[in-house]
């Protein structure tokens, strides 16, 4: 079969570095299969972006990183451990060649081209037909330096500007005490590099050894390159425009401390405006809590950050014996329901086993 003029021009263009600019295009990946060849840090970062875009992800590699294995154990991605074969691309819509061997990436790109598949090659952005923006490497991280340079070369971007990662979704992880909800939320973000961990609980001190031990356990479990922010100002966190994903742990502690600040623990159990036992109005404090919750919800709906929030499910246990306990249970139940209604994914953890509700 003779080669047409378009194909001949494409082959001529690939003979050397591309002089023409790339045609920018966004792909809708919901429900489409994306095959990632490679199991290292570059593949892990690309998998995070693919998941945020709603793709069904298959990772093919002889060995995969712990973060990718964690995602696979939760059923969030599929994996095939072994050497790459052309049949791995069957049914794919997008292919990402992220292996640590250039010959394997070249083979993947060639197979994808023959099958007319979109293909991104991490180690040579000028060779395949597609590319994605990449974030510059963190200090001391040389693993994806060539990938960053390749994408910069093609896009003409300024190396001093950090490219924004794909916009992720809003995820709520619920569960009872010691249900594994925090560990599950951490695994959801394990494939990302930089993550902002927002701690809403009170800083530990010598007066509460049990709380200090819990905080220490959480710190030991988090990757050392994650940064921690201790704050109740979740609205500012969600509005910040920071490109790093954020993990909020947790909404139940946030609500308890907000109720502390507003003096909303005392008062009648019914509607706002009931009087406290000493005759003073308790409605104002509860109205302030409601206003704080409303501001949080507006920020949650509007955020462009990939955010995972943890919260306790307290409606399935023993009815609290005190009026303040019942008030907190009801307020947290309402908060969880409102956040869940505006979340892209909602998970529930029982005995360390997460299940997706939405």
Q: What amino acid positions are annotated as catalytic residues?
A: 218
Cα–Cα distance, 264 to 283 (Å, whole number)? 8
Contacts of residue 39, defined as CB under 8 A and 6 or more positions apart, other chains included, come to 59, 61, 62, 63, 64, 65, 68, 79
CB-based contact 89:29 (threshold 8 Å): no
Tokens 């892990």, located at residue: 44
Q: Which two tokens stand for residue 46?
A: 């690309």
Helices (H), 18-118: 41-52, 66-73, 102-114
How many secondary structure helices (H) and strands (E) does the chain include?
A: 11, 12
Residue 190 buriedness (CB in 10 A; 0-12 / 13-18 / 19+): buried
CB-based contact 44:67 (threshold 8 Å): yes
Cα–Cα distance, 123 to 115 (Å, whole number)? 21
Cα–Cα distance, 169 to 52 (Å, whole number)? 6
For the chain, how are helix, strand and coil distributed in percent, rounded to 5? 40, 15, 45
Tokens 């050497």, located at residue: 83
What end-to-end distance do the CA atoms of the chain give, in Å?
50
Which of 266, 230, 276, 232 minimizes the C-alpha distance to 252? 232
């Amino acid at each position: 079969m003779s080669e047409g003029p378009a194909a001949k021009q494409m082959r001529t263009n690939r003979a050397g570095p591309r002089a023409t600019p790339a045609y920018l295009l966004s792909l809708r990946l919901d429900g489409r299969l994306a095959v990632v060849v490679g199991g290292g840090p570059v593949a892990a970062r690309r998998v995070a972006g693919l998941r945020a875009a709603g793709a069904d992800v298959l990772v093919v590699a002889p060995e995969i990183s712990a973060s990718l294995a964690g995602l696979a154990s939760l059923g969030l991605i599929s994996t095939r451990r072994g050497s790459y074969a052309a049949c791995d691309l069957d049914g794919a819509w997008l292919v990402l060649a992220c292996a640590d061997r250039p010959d394997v990436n070249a083979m993947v790109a060639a197979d994808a081209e023959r099958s007319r598949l979109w293909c991104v090659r991490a180690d040579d952005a000028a060779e395949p037909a597609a590319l994605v923006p990449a974030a510059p490497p963190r200090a001391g991280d040389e693993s994806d330096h060539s990938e960053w340079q390749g994408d910069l070369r093609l896009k003409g971007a300024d190396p001093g500007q950090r490219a924004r990662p794909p916009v992720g979704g809003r995820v709520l992880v619920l569960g009872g005490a010691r249900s594994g909800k925090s560990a599950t939320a951490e695994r959801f973000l394990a494939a990302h590099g930089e993550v902002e961990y927002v701690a809403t609980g009170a800083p530990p001190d010598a007066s509460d050894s049990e709380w200090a031990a819990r905080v220490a356990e959480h710190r030991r479990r988090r990757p050392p390159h994650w940064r921690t922010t201790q704050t109740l100002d979740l609205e500012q966190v969600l509005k910040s425009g920071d490109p790093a994903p954020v993990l909020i742990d947790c909404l139940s502690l946030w609500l308890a401390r907000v109720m502390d600040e507003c003096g909303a623990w005392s008062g009648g159990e019914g509607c706002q405006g009931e009087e406290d036992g000493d005759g003073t109005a308790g409605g104002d404090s509860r109205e302030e809590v409601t206003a704080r919750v409303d501001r949080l919800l507006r920020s949650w709906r509007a955020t462009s950050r990939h955010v995972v929030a943890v919260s306790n499910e307290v409606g399935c246990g023993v009815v609290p014996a005190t009026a303040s306990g019942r008030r907190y249970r009801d307020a947290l139940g309402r908060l969880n329901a409102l956040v869940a209604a505006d979340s892209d994914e909602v998970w529930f953890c029982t005995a360390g086993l997460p299940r997706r509700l939405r």
